[in-house]
Amino acid sequence: MDSEKISVKMSNVSKAYRKGKSSVAVLSNLNFEVAQGDFVALMGPSGSGKTTLLNLMGGLDHPDSGEVLVDGHRIERFGNSELTAWRAHNVGFVFQFYNLLSVLTAQKNVELPLSLRKMSGSEKAQRALNALKLVGLEDRAKHYPSELSGGQEQRVGIARAIVTDPALILADEPTGDLDRQSAQEIMTLLTTLNRDHGKTVVMVTHDPEAASSATRLVRLDKGQLAKEG
């Protein structure tokens, strides 16, 4: 794989968590690459390390050993403040349960990642409206999460993920809490962001139908890359 076209490169990455007095290994000397503009689906049984892998890519967690290179940055070397600033500019996160703040409108929820940017209130509002328009929810900007369907809430979550125009989108079970029709709409949206807007997407999923939207399938089992298809 051409080094200039690698978005993510993980080398000999290991991660374990404490459970009582014992240590539980989640990833063991894992090597993994994602090309720029790729759409990768991560599948595997519960406990195989999928979400841990995603969190390491997004700087939400540190490896115990190994290197995590994202768009040329060795993020495992970053301190917490560096990681916060880096994430704010480079990564968009999409969560299974949306993680919207119930007291904020859709527009204000989408504006949240811009809080670390030196922008005027009007600039933030316009960026949020542009993101909501891209996901087809501009007309719901003033609605609160309780006034939205599950599929609409997830689209707000995706608008929040892309409002900073990140190169990398990390999605953890983005369709896991949705009915089939809403799930298909979300996958169509992620495919559009990948294909038409050049976003690199890495998605954890248990859903084979969702995974079929990806351009590459990676299976994890017991902290190791098991199979690609």
CB atoms within 10 A of CB 102: 8
Confidence grade of residue 135 (pLDDT, cut at 50, 70, 90): very high
80 membership: H or E segment, kind and range: helix 80-90
Q: Is 33 exposed, middle or buried (0-12, 13-18, 19+ CB in 10 A)?
A: middle
Of the two residues 98 and 65, the one the predictor is more confident about is: 65
* Rounded average pLDDT over 33-49: 92
Q: Is 78 exposed, middle or buried (0-12, 13-18, 19+ CB in 10 A)?
A: middle
3-228: CATH superfamily: P-loop containing nucleotide triphosphate hydrolases (3.40.50.300)
Task: Tell me the C-alpha distance between 14 and 36, whole Å.
Answer: 24
25 membership: H or E segment, kind and range: strand 22-35
What 3-state class would DSSP assign to 218?
A: strand
* Rounded average pLDDT over 92-99: 90
Q: What is the pLDDT of residue 4?
A: 47
For residue 164, pLDDT over 90 is answered with: yes
Mean pLDDT of the chain: 91
Confidence grade of residue 222 (pLDDT, cut at 50, 70, 90): confident
Portion of the chain with pLDDT greater than 70, in percent: 96
